[in-house]
Amino acid sequence: MSHDSVSAGADREGSDSSGQESTLADHEAQLNAVLADVEGSSADDEPISLELPGLGMNRRDFMKAGAAVGTVSALAGCASLTGGGTNTQTTSGDVPDHTVAPGEHDEYYGFWSGGHAGDIRIFGLPSMRELTRIPVFNREPAKGYGFDDETNAMLEDAGGYTWGDSHHPSLSETDGKYDGNYLFVNDKANGRVARVNLKYFETDAITNVPNVQAVHGCCIQSPNTDYLFANSEFRTPLPNDGRDVTNPEKYVSVFTAIDPESMAVRWQVQVDGNLDILDTDKDGRWAISSAYNDEEGVEIEEMTRDDRDYVKAFDVPAIQTAVDNGEYEEVNGVPVVDGRRDSLLNSGENPIVRYIPTPKSPHCVEVEPNGKYAMVAGKLSPTVSIIDIEKLASEPDPAKTIVGQPKVGLGPLHTTFDDRGQAYTSLFIDSQVVKWDIETAVDSPDNSEDAILGKIDVHYNPGHIQAIQAMSTEPIGDWLVVLNKLSKDRFLPVGPIYPDNDQLIYIGNDKDDETGGMELVADHPVYPEPHDAIFATKDKIAPAKTWDKADYEGEKEYVSETNSRVNRIDDTTVEAYASVKRSEYGLRDFTVKEGDQVTLTVTNIEGSQDIVHGVAIPEYDVNLALAPQDTREVTFRADKPGVYWIYCTYFCSALHLEMRSRMLVEPR
Amino acid sequence: MSHDSVSAGADREGSDSSGQESTLADHEAQLNAVLADVEGSSADDEPISLELPGLGMNRRDFMKAGAAVGTVSALAGCASLTGGGTNTQTTSGDVPDHTVAPGEHDEYYGFWSGGHAGDIRIFGLPSMRELTRIPVFNREPAKGYGFDDETNAMLEDAGGYTWGDSHHPSLSETDGKYDGNYLFVNDKANGRVARVNLKYFETDAITNVPNVQAVHGCCIQSPNTDYLFANSEFRTPLPNDGRDVTNPEKYVSVFTAIDPESMAVRWQVQVDGNLDILDTDKDGRWAISSAYNDEEGVEIEEMTRDDRDYVKAFDVPAIQTAVDNGEYEEVNGVPVVDGRRDSLLNSGENPIVRYIPTPKSPHCVEVEPNGKYAMVAGKLSPTVSIIDIEKLASEPDPAKTIVGQPKVGLGPLHTTFDDRGQAYTSLFIDSQVVKWDIETAVDSPDNSEDAILGKIDVHYNPGHIQAIQAMSTEPIGDWLVVLNKLSKDRFLPVGPIYPDNDQLIYIGNDKDDETGGMELVADHPVYPEPHDAIFATKDKIAPAKTWDKADYEGEKEYVSETNSRVNRIDDTTVEAYASVKRSEYGLRDFTVKEGDQVTLTVTNIEGSQDIVHGVAIPEYDVNLALAPQDTREVTFRADKPGVYWIYCTYFCSALHLEMRSRMLVEPR
């Protein structure tokens, strides 16, 4: 193993090998230069079309042509740019049609995390049409999520926050294959994880994880979803209750294991540094997490001071044994095991957490479909570090678990996979995707480009990248989506907050050309700010078309037309029950008194798919959405006297407009 | 004028000409039969694929084949089905490509109302890609809307509701052409109207209209946006403060005129019946509104009892004169003019509101681009009534202002227009679009099908329908979008709440075939539940790419790096000011005391387009989104001691993850 890239990174940062702190001014200069020149985003408003004086070419082409290679390599600490791809605007004849004719279905489901929109978005692939959205951490009126008593209570019990920052969707697996039961996702903003029930495509549980701030990495344990794992990214005092606020050396971050059925937190492991993103092996032993700031600084110069950081490989059975043996401290009701590098538990023959040195501030870990290797993208290093998972248990020197380190390009962030042993890594700074061969990379010297098969330009600054079923043992290898963070000039302007650009690339053809056969097929503007995505073949997902009332029997009443009624419980409490079907609520009207607490229970008694009804009470902020056979309850205070016409928000029949109930609120 | 359709309608409802009330059982039987058989939505779960015993064809084809025409005509009160179209799945060679290659731009902007999602959605046409969404009545975290002090105060001042039901987007005009300044939209749920500033694609004003419940129709006054008009659909006591709740005869609905610059309510007009949808002429005199329930009943049987209802044509200058003359009652600070049919003001030579009889419960009014005719779709009648706008001023008999009444099909709801004198009407029950010639319809006998040029199947149950710039004086006549309320089997299943289906139809080719040349090009699933849309050529809209700080100077401070600071105002009040740019907040950390009220003001000092930054404070529900040069403020109570890492929600640079500020909340 050489560590040229690490050294180069140190040079770039202006710090010497003793780890001396670089100054903010150094960082500013470096960042401004990299971001302005390499990304093409200067203070000029039109970076992409900007022509450099006397050159007759724009800044991007100028960079590609290599005229500024000296600058780039000096700034970014790597050798010359190779490949470079063309801005492929049209596809060759052997790319399948990505459009889907009217009435035909897509081949794949795509589940996007919505970022700080707080939701999950479902797309069909390859058409890239949004099929629906699932509100998770955001209250969302179209589906009445957060408006009925049950979903409102779930959100209130999980902290009462009105938003979240969903990053990493993870599909439940059985035998390493997506089983269509659940999708899990993190909330970075508020340290939570949520579960989406894929029978109803609805969020059914949110856990506010104790002892953490900013859950970032989040994934299920392959192959059988025995745990849901969650990383806390931000280091804080443990517990974070006002103690040690000015003592950063007391801050910690933790790795959390959650029961995917009860969604209860089982145990946590305290580690050094800031945890980032994680993935698991395919055998149920290792959870492997990227991390940064092993310096444990609190400012950016401190966080990026040293040449290396440490990937954390969590030995799940060993941790479980420690928990069973009582080797933990209980904090806020959770067993917290000490997995810091210098801890007693971590110093023996079988450490519970292995610390694997990589170039500093790597970004992501993805385990390839065979489960043999974990890929650690370098971010500030132009490399991907390849961890041989088998060696995690057998190799005494953690550094030697890294068996390859191809040089891929500037700003590698995420890697995905096809079914042919090939990897695809997003290059944030280069605005490219690089295709490379995994076994060639393992067999080649570190920092070589031998494994590179091609590069393609993307637009612009890609983050996550995902191919069909690449996170499971069943990759497909036809389509790949690149989630670009900037779109700049790619779409009609829509004001100063731009859409991102999810680009569809066909990877089904391996060719000996500039791009290795990758072809850019379509640009798709997306609402801010999708973070990651995961894709499944359509046969894996089988949602219900109507509700099965057995799923809520005993908790909520199924209100038929004949038991629609109003019950006055006491002087200030009323319960109203109504059925709803096309053109008619079971209650034509009902009367309450000013100040009453009213609980309204409504059942959609339709048996037909797609016949959804709503319950809107004007000026009362009441808004239910009821799929066929579903029942929802809402409780509110009737504090405004007057006449309130309850109406249906889903256009449901030719007499939809005349369909009404009427709440009469009599003054006290 | 004959009124066959009205009589037929009466027969269908089972009421005689004396207006005797039909029973609920009659209605149920009729509705169930119409909806189950004609829409193909029976209690069976798979209505579309259902085969009728022994026929070897599905229900829909069965209906098309005319085998059940007797049933249909008996149920729906019209003659045989004509045309019928085919389920066009592929387009002929002379339809332009609707896809847009990577990096190329769409030709048109589309502004969709999001229905009870509460937002406006911007699509590019013809690609039908969603470019962005503008939260209006919904608090939305991705854009931080409702999270900063200013937008939060706007929503609180407008009633504090957490949702709205946006129906009818209307673009501001100058000289009858879209001027790109504003988009207006109603909130049916809470009786409000909102304005979107198209410089920033952001909602900048919401008016909670007094004296109304459920603003439904909403449009600007052509040709120069002198007023924004809003219809209240639901009849309530005036004011609705607890008086007269059990006296429906005292309920009223009102038509409202709003100043589009100040967004202040100028005057209202009280009328008979429930107002529905409106449009204006092109000369600034008439606002023409559909209406139902002139019976002024409170239940569906009463509302649909009589054979006819009355379109209301508001004579805006005459109303203005009445207001100027003090001929009004002031209610909640608004002059309310009496425009009821039997009122004194409405009985003279120049009535302020003309009541035009149509078949009962018409749905929509659209004025065609030349401004000559207003089209009133029949809904429960299979006709469109054509009002000659010139006759509104000159014709003494209001009934005679209707100069044509073509029979178009079952459930006509909305009409749009091309640039060649042709109209396109959505048929909700038939699940079709019918194309017809306007002048032929005027010249033909009422209830004739002479003007019909073709029909095309859509999927399923279309509501609004819109062609490019059809609401202005500059129609284009190439693409048409049909907003179908049901999608059923058209997309991969996504749980029991289905997407709607917006279908793209090419109308640029006039042909003498079954569809009149209309060709179905693409299906697009859409999140519930778009209601209407309006389209403009791309040259009409010119949003800013960054903020102009002159637009908020004097209201908010522009915080530069050098004036980032923390000011303690008193023992419990802190003001913090921070700049933000790639990788750095102007404040690396700041300390407050538990219980402090903190106001944080942040400026994004970037000059480059598309470089947006966020400000998230974990567990404090703080979430700002800052476009370049924008400043936002947020005020919160620091009620939880501990360390809180402020982070950026928009992925902005290679060091985005390390970019942080830190709020230390010291215990008191």
Nearest to A163 among B623, B641, B651 (CB): B623
Tokens at B343, concatenated: 């009122």
Q: Write phi, then psi, for A69 (nearest 5 degrees).
A: -55, -35
pLDDT bracket for residue A84 (50, 70, 90): very low
Q: Do A114 and B142 touch (CB under 8 A)?
A: yes
pLDDT digits (tens, 9 = 90+) for A535-575: 999 999 999 999 999 999 999 999 999 999 999 999 999 99
* Mode of pairing for the β-strands spanning B660-666 and B642-647: antiparallel
Cβ-proximal residues to A180 (8 Å cutoff; 6+ apart), any chain:
A171, A172, A198, A536, A540, A541, A542
Q: pLDDT tens, B172-207?
A: 999 999 999 999 999 999 999 999 999 999 999 999
**If you measure CA to CA, which chain A residue comes closest to B121?**
A527
Chain A residues in contact with B664 (beta carbon < 8 A): 245-246
> Cβ separation of A242 and B189 shorter than 8 Å?
no
Residues of B in contact with A300 (CB under 8 A): 583-584, 655, 658-660
- Residue of B608, B637, B656 to mutate, testing the A interface (most A Cβ within 10 Å of its Cβ): B608
Residues A165, B494: C-beta atoms closer than 8 Å: no
Could you say which of A90, A105, A245 has the minimum Cβ distance to residue B642?
A245
Return the minimum-mean-pLDDT range out of A11-15, A91-95, A268-272, B313-317. A11-15
CA distance B39 to chain A (A): 9
Q: Do the chains contact at B242 and A666, CB–CB below 8 Å?
A: yes
* pLDDT mean across residues, chain B: 88
Residues 6+ apart with CB under 8 A from A266: A227, A257, A258, A259, A323, A335
Q: Least CA distance to B141: which residue of chain A?
A: A117
DSSP class of residue B147 equals T
* Domains within chain B, CATH numbers bracketed: 108-540 (2.130.10.10), 549-666 (2.60.40.420)
pLDDT of residue B90: 53
For A30, the token pair is 């470096």
Lowest-confidence region among A30-34, B35-39, B82-86, B422-426: B82-86
State the smallest CA–CA distance between residue B332 and chain A in angstroms.
15
Angstrom distances, CA of residue B81 to CA of B27, B77, B85: 23, 11, 11
Q: Does A379 touch chain B (CB under 8 A)?
A: yes
Two tokens, residue A77:
């600490």
Measured distance CA(B511)–CA(B456) in Å, rounded = 13
Residues facing A354 on adjacent strands: A313
- What residues of chain A lie within 8 A of the CB of B214, using their CB? 618, 645, 647
Contact of A189 with B623, CB cutoff 8 Å: yes
Residues contacting B541, CB < 8 A, separation 6+: A492, A493, B109, B178, B180, B198
Query: What are the residues whose beta carbons fall under 8 Å from the beta carbon of A632, sequence distance 6 or more?
Result: A144, A148, A149, A150, A556, A601, A602, A615, A624, A625, A626
Q: Do B491 and A234 touch (CB under 8 A)?
A: no
Closest CA of chain A from B164, distance in Å:
8
Cα B205 from Cα B219, distance rounded (Å): 16
Q: Do B616 and A35 touch (CB under 8 A)?
A: no
Tokens of B547: 């903020």
CB pair distance less than 8 Å for A496 and B628 = yes
A610/B488 CB distance under 8 A: yes
Stretch (H or E) spanning A338: strand A334-338
| Distance of alpha carbon B611 from alpha carbon A480, whole angstroms | 26
The pLDDT value recorded for residue A166 is 98
Contact A564, A578 (CB under 8 A): yes
CB contact under 8 A, A665 and B299: no
A361/B191 CB distance under 8 A = no
Does any CB of chain A come closer than 8 Å to the CB of residue B22?
no
Predicted pLDDT of residue A90 = 53
Residue in chain A closest to B522 (alpha carbons) equals A102
Say if the Cβ atoms of A643 and B133 lie within 8 Å.
no
Kindly tell me if the per-residue pLDDT of A16 is higher than 60. no
Higher-confidence residue of A6 and A462: namely: A462
Q: Compute how many other C-beta atoms are within 10 angstroms of the C-beta atom of residue B567.
A: 10
| pLDDT band for position A447 (cuts 50, 70, 90) | very high
> A367 Cβ partners below 8 Å, 6+ apart?
A222, A279, A280, A281, A282, A288, A373, A374, A375, A389
Contact A217, A287 (CB under 8 A): no
Give the lowest-confidence range in A25-39, B72-86, B145-159. B72-86
Nearest Cα residue to A564 out of A554, A552, A576, A556:
A576
- Which residues numbered 479-518 in A keep a CB inside 8 Å of some CB on B? 485-499, 503
Q: How far is B393 from chain A (nearest CA, A)?
A: 30
For B524, which of A129, A303, A623 is closest by C-beta distance? A129
- B292:A659 CB<8 A: no
Flag whether residue A627 sits within 8 Å of chain B, measured between CB atoms: yes
Residue A619 C-alpha from the chain's centroid: 36
- Residue with the bigger pLDDT between A79 and A92: it is A92
**What is the arrangement of strands in the sheet containing B308-315, beginning at the earlier edge strand?**
B274-280, B286-292, B308-315, B353-359
pLDDT tens for B524-577 read 999 999 999 999 999 999 999 999 999 999 999 999 999 999 999 999 999 999
Model ipTM?
A: 0.89
Q: How many other C-beta atoms can be found within 10 angstroms of the C-beta atom of residue B643?
A: 26
Tell me which amino acid residue A173 is: E
Task: Give the one of B31, B188, B628 whose C-beta lies nearest to A653's C-beta.
Answer: B31
Strands (E), A479-532: 479-484, 500-506, 519-526
Tens-digit pLDDT profile for residues A387-442: 999 999 999 999 999 999 999 999 999 999 999 999 999 999 999 999 999 999 99
Confidence of residue B65 (pLDDT cuts 50, 70, 90): very low
In the predicted model, what is the mean pLDDT of residues B518-523? 98
Kindly state the percentage of chain B with pLDDT values over 90: 83
Is the pLDDT score of B20 beyond 60? no
For A314-369, how does the pLDDT look when each residue is reduced to its tens digit (9 = 90+)?
999 999 999 999 999 999 999 999 999 999 999 877 799 999 999 999 999 999 99
Position with higher pLDDT, B146 vs B28: B146
Using an 8 Å Cβ cutoff, are B625 and B634 in contact? Answer: no
Question: Do B312 and B318 form a contact (C-beta atoms < 8 A)?
Answer: no
**What are the φ and ψ backbone dihedral angles of B298, each rounded to 5 degrees?**
-115, -10
Does the CB of A529 have a partner CB in chain B at under 8 Å?
A: yes
- Predicted confidence at residue A94, as pLDDT, reads 87
From chain A, the residues in CB contact with B301 under 8 A are none
Enumerate residues 6+ apart whose C-beta is below 8 A from A259: A227, A228, A265, A266
Q: Chain A to chain B, count of Cβ pairs less than 8 Å apart?
A: 477
Cα(B117)–Cα(B499) distance, integer angstroms:
13
Chain segment B75-123, per-residue pLDDT in tens: 232 222 223 333 334 566 789 999 999 999 999 999 999 999 999 999 9
Scanning the structure block, which residue is given the tokens 């000015």? A246
Task: For residue A584, list chain B residues with Cβ-Cβ distance below 8 A.
Answer: 28, 300
Summarize the confidence of residues A41-55 as an average pLDDT: 31
Structural contact between residues A117 and B649, judged by C-beta atoms closer than 8 angstroms: no
Mean pLDDT in residue range B210-226: 97
* B65 in contact with chain A, both atoms CB, cutoff 8 A: no
**pLDDT computed for residue B350 by the predictor:** 85
Check pLDDT > 50 for residue B42. Answer: no
Q: Is A184 helix (H, G, I), strand (E, B) or coil?
A: strand
Closest CA to B8 of B112, B79, B80, B81: B79
Question: CA–CA separation, B414 vs B377, rounded Å?
Answer: 6
Confidence tier at B11 by pLDDT (50, 70, 90):
very low
* Cross-strand pairs, A666: A593
For residues A646-662, give the mean pLDDT.
Answer: 94
CB < 8 Å from B in window 309-348 of A: none
Residues in chain B: 668
Closest to B646 (Cα-Cα) out of B659, B629, B660: B660
Rounded average pLDDT over A108-127: 98
| CA B440 distance to own-chain centroid | 30
Token readout for B439 is 């002048």
> For residue A524, which residues of chain B lie inside 8 Å, CB to CB?
129
Residue B25 token pair: 């059982």
Residue of A nearest to B35 (CA): A653
Sorted by sequence, the CB contacts under 8 Å of residue A149 that are 6+ apart come out as A599, A632, A633, A634, A635
Asked if A429's CB is within 8 angstroms of B498's CB, the reply is: no
Give contacts of B135 with chain A, Cβ < 8 Å.
none
Q: Is the distance from CB of B116 to CB of A648 less than 8 angstroms?
A: no
State how far the Cα of B84 lies from the Cα of B99, in Å rounded to an integer.
28
The number of beta carbons lying within 10 Å of the beta carbon of residue A336 is: 23
Residue A596 falls in which region: left (phi positive, over 0), alpha (psi -120 to 50) or beta: beta
Q: Is the pLDDT of residue A590 over 80?
A: yes
**A116 interfaces chain B, CB cutoff of 8 Å:** yes
What pTM was estimated for this model as a whole?
Answer: 0.90
SS3 letters for B564-601?
A: CEEEEEECCEEEEEEEEECCEECCCEEEEECCCEEEEE
Yes or no: say if B322 and B337 are a contact pair by the CB < 8 Å rule.
Answer: yes
Phi then psi dihedrals of residue B566, to 5 deg: -125, 125
**What are A234's two structure tokens?**
């931000």
Closest-CA distance of chain B to residue A355, Å: 21
Tell me the two tokens of residue B432.
């079709």
| Chain B nearest-CA residue for A103 | B490
Residue A138 pLDDT more than 50? Answer: yes
CA distance to partner chain B, nearest, from residue A230 (Å): 16
pLDDT score for B1: 35
Q: How far apart are CA B545 and CA B312, in angstroms?
A: 43
Q: How many CB atoms lie within 10 A of CB A19?
A: 11
Sort out which chain A residues have CB atoms less than 8 A from B165's CB and list them: 616, 649
B596: chain A residues, CB-CB within 8 Å: none
**Residue B118 is encoded by which pair of tokens?**
């509460």
- Residue B58 has a pLDDT of 37
pLDDT above 70 for B345: yes
| Rounded average pLDDT over B332-339 | 98
Q: CB A522 to CB B99 under 8 A?
A: yes
> Could you tell me the pLDDT band of residue A62, with boundaries at 50, 70 and 90?
very low
